[in-house]
Structure 1
Amino acid sequence: MAQDRVEAVERALTVLEAFDSPQEHFTLAELAQATGYYKSTLLRLLGSLTRYDYVQRDEQGRWHLGHAPVRLARRHLPGRHLTTRIQPLLIRLSEDSGETAALLEGEDGMVECRLVTLPDAALRHDLRPGDRWAAAKDDPRPVLPGGMMVCQALPGDAIEPPMWLALSGPAGRLDPQQAHRLLADALSSLTAGEAREAAP
């Protein structure tokens, strides 16, 4: 209804909608053309969106999406395609190892558990989707008193956040060599499946 509308909010959302495009960077003139707004209006809107990290401006003066939309999107469950590809691997990894198998994703110094399969064992790493912890850029493992985690990086590009397959459990029970072998086999299986999907 008309009384529920806030014009300034709708204008800001219109600006964000312009970024729903294969084009990653926009000049102010391109945004003006895409939205129909004057450049002076756009600059005010972009200023507010920048303060909340919805958009960023690069050194060439072009605009692109910031981190906030990605952070909010990641609050949702993983996409069906990701779940369909990864969850069966996690189930097999957990069955073969008897330990917790997980898909981890890192960004901005934090690692988040995206998918997980828990073993039937009473003593286990009780990891849950959405669990987050601070970690080094290339080492996603959390501090696990009495436990350990072995990780296998998944291939990706510089734009995507890094991801890892992981096995974790009690330090005296989890065999690192076996874990590395199982994770390497899972990665090979995943890579082979993606190659088959990409084949004409």
Structure 2
Amino acid sequence: MAQDRVEAVERALTILSAFDCSQEQFTLAELASATGYYKSTLLRLLGSLERFDYVQRGSDGRYRMGRAPLRLARRHLPSRQLEAWLQPVLDALAAASGETAALIEADAGSAECRLVALPDTTLRHDLRPGLEWHVAASTDPAMEFTGGIMVCRHLTISPGNLWLSLSGPGGRLARHVAEAHLEVALSELTQRPAGERGNIAEEPA
């Protein structure tokens, strides 16, 4: 109904809708062209969207999607099913290796820990869900940290750019050992029935 409309909210949603395309970053002029709004109007709305992390403004002045839409998307049923499916595998991986096992999501030059299983030892890599770090390329989201190593393997059987990782003290965790543990975990996941994987990736009818 017309009386239920809030113009500022609809304009902000129109800006967010402009990011629903193959282009990842926009200049202010490009957003003005995509939305039909004046640059002065856009700047006010983008300021609010940026404060709530719906958009992010880079050092070059270009705008890209922020992390807030992703956090909300995780409340979507398929995402919750994905996490419920993977957490037991991470727990087993941490127990078998004695190191920190995690689910990592990489996107646009950054990586974020989504799930983690910590080993029962005080000397460990203390990853926490929600922790973000910069990566040079989304083809390897491994975190660089003093005195430690993180090894990642791409999770190809799930939607999104997701990775399994194993990390710990560099003097204790060898790369080839981490890769062997990750291979076992990935093998276990690929042996799950296809129907179970499909239920995770798709919205139930």
- The normalised TM-score by structure 2 is 0.64
Distance 1:8 1:100 in 2: 48
Distance 2:183 2:167 in 1: 15
Query: 1:152-190 deviations in whole A, cap 9, x for unaligned?
Result: 111169xx6522100000112113222111211211222
Structure 2 CA distance for partners of 1:175 and 1:10, relative to 1, 3 Å: closer
Conserved? CA contact 1:148–1:171, under 8 Å: yes
The amino acid across from 1:133 in the alignment is W
Shifted more, 99-108 versus 132-141: the winner is: 132-141
Structure 2 CA distance for partners of 1:17 and 1:147, relative to 1, 3 Å: closer
- The normalised TM-score by structure 1 is 0.66
Distance 2:171 2:73 in 1: 33
Structure 2 CA distance for partners of 1:111 and 1:97, relative to 1, 3 Å: same
Aligned counterpart, 1:193: 192
How far apart are residue 108 of structure 1 and its match?
1.5
The amino acid across from 2:36 in the alignment is L
Secondary structure at 1:145's aligned position in 2? Answer: coil
Distance 2:14 2:109 in 1: 29
Aligned counterpart, 1:151: 152
| Runs (5+) with no aligned partner, structure 1 | 26-41, 56-65
Aligned counterpart, 2:71: 75
Conserved? CA contact 1:107–1:161, under 8 Å: no
The amino acid across from 1:143 in the alignment is E
Identity %: 40
Instruction: Tell which structure's C-alpha radius of gyration is larger.
Output: 1
| Runs (5+) with no aligned partner, structure 2 | 22-34, 56-62, 199-205
State the superposition RMSD in angstroms: 3.6
Structure 2 CA distance for partners of 1:45 and 1:192, relative to 1, 3 Å: farther
Distance 1:154 1:194 in 2: 16
Secondary structure at 1:75's aligned position in 2? Answer: helix
Shifted more, 73-82 versus 90-99: the winner is: 73-82
